[in-house]
Amino acid sequence: MSDEFKNMDVRRIMELLPHRYPFLLVDKVIDCTPGESITAVKNVTFNEPYFNGHFPGKPIMPGVLIIESMAQAAGLLSYATVGATKIRPLYYLVGVDSARFRRTVTPGDQMVLKVVIDREKRGIWKYKCAAYVDDELAVSANIMCAPGGELE
């Protein structure tokens, strides 16, 4: 395994993903085996803009943003798998199946995102994803991404 994709910090992540604040939802990669799996981290802080309204007095990270965090980790895994190319495809989240929300994610939590490639066919990627807090499963889902343009 190449160490290029292991222990990625946020600067390296921003070189690979088009997302920026407040929508960059992966803080670091702690392990990556291209073609197989990735483990990444999202530190959830009270400063996240969505906590003002979701919900006042009882802040909870929206489930759709947890799914997005897993999708961003999946994007990093796909980039690590395909490798550097002159033109990078921009992938969109096009499907979410079997999503299960088992516990809330709140300020101060550290989400550990685990993504495994299920399969890739004709540029469409399918992944099995899970988000953990304190080794407890918070969210699981199968997601699908498809190309929708190019990044420069």
Tell me which residues are annotated as active site: 54
CA 81 to centroid of chain Cα atoms: 15
Edge-to-edge strands of the sheet including 37-43? 28-33, 37-43, 110-121, 124-133, 136-151, 88-101
Residue 108, number of CB atoms within 10 A of its CB = 11
CA distances from 29 to 14, 91, 100, 101, 105 (A): 12, 19, 23, 23, 19
